[in-house]
């Protein structure tokens, strides 16, 4: 972390906190520590980003006890109240990497940002999965070439990940050795929404051991869409989706990495003017995403990306091409 001057941040960034035993937290004796470890909560970070009912349901330790342990873990990592000055310092530790498209980078204020959740939605074949592939390569570029010299994690809910495509994309980047590049993309297929949640719950320990700066979830919604049919189950679905998204957001914060999720669209009934497509997932997704990007098709292999929601950037558009080498400027 070159830009970070905040020592509190370093505690999260580096692996130094791994040397602090979870036994050192108040309320954690050897028996509880063992139960926590067995359930996969073996580090302060894993505890800090968890919720009481999540751990309680796996370990059968009471929620109140777990609540105190989580608070202690967050305390020891200095996650909590902070002044605006501290927040500014923390924001400086956000890093950016290139998408490979100058226009998309400019739209995002200089590239894909860590500690941020980017949601990309659009109809089929608009490029959501292609951008995901591209980012898995560009995050690996050396810093002087616009990357973060880091690894990517690809969670595939649709079965559309293609390592061959990464090999085509990497041809444009002579700084990267194709074989090493492939090894630095960690892949996991998710099979249903519970499995997806389980994968995300297990991530803290995994992230502790890897230099991951990008997590892709393609797509965040498909399992939910097929499992929860009919409006009767909508509240339940939204609650689960909410839990998943917030866990991802907290991981992005705690490990200073970017989260890229894709979403599908549905026809918006009763909308006669404008674009009749709306992202699925409703308010839950809208609130969780830091950046929302809407993709649409243009002529041939041209695509238009529109930044529709961002905390501090204007609503702008970017045009890009999808060709043999991935995402390109037109
Ligand atoms: P859905 O997942 O179906 O909703 O679509 P998506 O938005 O994820 O689309 P995706 O990114 O898969 O594809 C976008 C476009 O990229 C399509 O028009 C494809 O034809 C094109 N594309 C996909 N793979 C390749 C490839 O290997 N080479 C080239 N040149 N184009 C590709
Ligand atoms: Mg796709």
Per-residue pLDDT reduced to its tens digit, 265-296:
876 555 455 555 778 777 777 777 789 999 99
Residue 131 CA: which ligand 1 atom is closest?
A: 11
Helix (H, G, I), strand (E, B) or coil at 89: helix
Residue 13 clears pLDDT 50, i.e. is over it = no
pLDDT at residue 36 in the model = 93
Residue 86 included in any domain: no
Distance CA 146, CA 6 (A): 23
Q: Kindly state whether residues 65 and 101 are assigned to the same domain.
A: no
Rounded to the nearest 10°, the torsion over CA 147, 216, 211, 8 is 90
Q: Kindly state whether residues 70 and 105 are assigned to the same domain.
A: no
Q: Kindly state whether residues 194 and 239 are assigned to the same domain.
A: yes
CATH number of the structural domain spanning residue 215: 3.40.50.300
Could you tell me if the CB of 171 is within 6 A of ligand 1? no
In the reported structure, the alpha carbon of residue 127 is separated from the centroid of ligand 1 by a whole-number distance in angstroms of 5
Q: Kindly state whether residues 53 and 169 are assigned to the same domain.
A: no
Highest mean pLDDT (candidates 149-163, 200-214, 252-266): 149-163
In the reported structure, the alpha carbon of residue 124 is separated from the centroid of ligand 2 by a whole-number distance in angstroms of 7
Among the ranges given (17-21, 70-74, 137-141, 311-315), the one the predictor scored with the smallest mean pLDDT: 17-21
Judged by its nearest atom, the ligand closest to the C-alpha of residue 156 is 2
Could you tell me if the CB of 324 is within 6 A of ligand 1? yes
Q: Kindly state whether residues 60 and 132 are assigned to the same domain.
A: no
Residue 4 clears pLDDT 80, i.e. is over it = no
Judged by its nearest atom, the ligand closest to the C-alpha of residue 131 is 1
In the reported structure, the alpha carbon of residue 12 is separated from the centroid of ligand 1 by a whole-number distance in angstroms of 37
Per-residue pLDDT reduced to its tens digit, 68-79:
999 998 888 777
Burial class from Cβ neighbours inside 10 Å (0-12, 13-18, 19+) for residue 278 reads: middle
Q: Kindly state whether residues 159 and 21 are assigned to the same domain.
A: no
CATH number of the structural domain spanning residue 53: 1.10.150.20
- For residue 73 the two structure tokens come to 């873990």
Question: Whole domain around residue 59: which residue ranges?
Answer: 2-76
Give the DSSP letter string of 180-226: HHHHTEEEEE--SHHHHHHHHHHHHHHHHHS-EEEEEEE-SSHHHHH
Q: Where are the beta strands (DSSP E) in the chain?
A: 96-97, 112-113, 117-122, 151-156, 185-189, 212-218, 258-263, 265-267, 277-279, 291-297, 302-309, 317-323, 326-328
> What pTM value is reported for the model?
0.84
Contacts of residue 188, defined as CB under 8 A and 6 or more positions apart, other chains included, come to: 153, 154, 155, 156, 199
Per-residue pLDDT reduced to its tens digit, 98-125:
999 999 999 999 999 999 999 999 999 9
Per-residue pLDDT reduced to its tens digit, 296-306:
999 999 999 99
Number of domains comprising the chain:
2
Judged by its nearest atom, the ligand closest to the C-alpha of residue 121 is 1
pLDDT at residue 12 in the model = 35
8 A C-beta contact, residue 243 and residue 284: no
Could you tell me if the CB of 138 is within 6 A of ligand 1? no
Residue 313 clears pLDDT 80, i.e. is over it = yes
Could you tell me if the CB of 129 is within 6 A of ligand 1? yes
pLDDT at residue 274 in the model = 52
Residue 83 included in any domain: no
Residue 89 included in any domain: no
Q: Kindly state whether residues 41 and 180 are assigned to the same domain.
A: no
Protein residue whose Cα sits closest to atom 9 of ligand 1: 125
Mean pLDDT of the chain: 87
Q: What is the mean pLDDT of residues 50-56?
A: 89
């Amino acid at each position: 972390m070159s830009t970070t001057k905040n020592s509190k941040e370093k505690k999260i960034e580096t692996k130094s906190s791994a040397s602090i035993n979870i036994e050192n937290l108040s309320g954690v004796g050897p028996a509880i520590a063992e139960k926590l470890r067995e359930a996969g909560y073996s580090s302060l970070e894993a505890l800090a980003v968890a919720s009481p009912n999540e751990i309680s349901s796996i370990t059968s330790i009471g929620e109140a006890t777990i609540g105190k342990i989580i608070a202690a873990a967050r305390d020891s990592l200095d996650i909590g109240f902070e002044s605006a000055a501290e927040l500014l310092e923390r924001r400086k530790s956000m890093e950016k990497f290139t998408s490979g498209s100058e226009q998309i980078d400019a739209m995002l204020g200089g590239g894909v940002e860590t500690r941020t959740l980017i949601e990309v939605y659009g109809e089929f074949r608009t490029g959501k999965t292609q951008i995901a592939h591209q980012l898995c390569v560009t995050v690996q570029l050396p810093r002087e070439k616009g990357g973060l010299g880091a690894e990517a994690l690809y969670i595939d809910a649709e079965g559309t990940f293609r390592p061959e495509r990464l090999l085509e994309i990497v041809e444009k980047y002579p700084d990267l050795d194709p074989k090493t590049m492939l090894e630095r993309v960690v892949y996991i297929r998710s099979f249903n929404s519970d499995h997806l949640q389980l994968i995300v719950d297990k991530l803290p320990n995994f992230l502790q051991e890897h230099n991951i700066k990008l997590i892709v979830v393609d797509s965040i919604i498909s399992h939910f869409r097929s499992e929860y049919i009919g409006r009767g189950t909508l509240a339940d679905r939204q609650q689960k989706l909410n839990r998943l998204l917030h866990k991802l957001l907290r991981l992005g914060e705690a490990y200073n990495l970017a989260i890229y999720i894709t979403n599908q669209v549905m026809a918006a009934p009763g909308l006669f003017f404008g674009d009749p497509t709306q992202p699925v997932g409703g308010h839950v997704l809208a609130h969780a995403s830091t950046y929302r990007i809407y993709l649409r098709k243009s002529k041939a292999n041209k695509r238009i990306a529109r930044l529709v929601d961002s905390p501090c950037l204007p609503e702008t558009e970017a045009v890009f091409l999808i060709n043999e080498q991935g995402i390109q400027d037109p």
